[in-house]
Amino acid sequence: MRLPSLTALRSFEAAARLQSMTKAADELCVTHGAVSRQVQVLESDLGIKLLNRLPRSLETTEEGEQLARKLSQAFAMMGDAVSSLKPGPVVLSCS
């Protein structure tokens, strides 16, 4: 199986976690429409509904909740991996 776009996965994870397309868009520095479109593409690729769009918020479906939880863990692991590569602070001591 071909993996969905990383952008679509990241957009969905943020929208599900924040329960808002607008908040996800702010976090990802994109427009509300961009997040909405990426989530639609992901739902189309997977052939399942991941989010229920309510008037002022979002609600994850059972499948969406399961995917969001696993994606959050995966993105946290990737963040840790990248952070571990960055050099720590340089400490100088002078006498």
Q: 31 lies in a domain?
A: yes
Please tell me the predicted confidence (pLDDT) of residue 91: 78
CATH number assigned to the domain comprising residue 18: 1.10.10.10
pLDDT in tens, 43-89: 999 999 999 998 888 999 999 999 999 999 999 999 999 888 877 77
Provide the number of structural domains found in the chain. 1
Domain that holds residue 27: 6-73
22 lies in some domain: yes
**The whole model's pTM is what?**
0.85
Query: Has residue 92 got a pLDDT over 80?
Result: no
Q: Residue 28 domain-assigned?
A: yes
Helices (H), 1-95: 6-18, 21-28, 32-46, 62-85
CA dist 21 → 51, 72, 79, 86 (Å): 11, 16, 22, 31
Asked if residue 39 is part of any domain, the answer here is: yes
Q: How far is Cα 24 from Cα 32, in angstroms, rounded to an integer?
A: 8
Average pLDDT, the chain: 93
CA-to-CA distance for 25 and 41, rounded, in angstroms?
Answer: 16
Nearest 5°: the CA angle 81, 13, 78 is 5
Q: Please report whether residue 69 resides in a domain.
A: yes
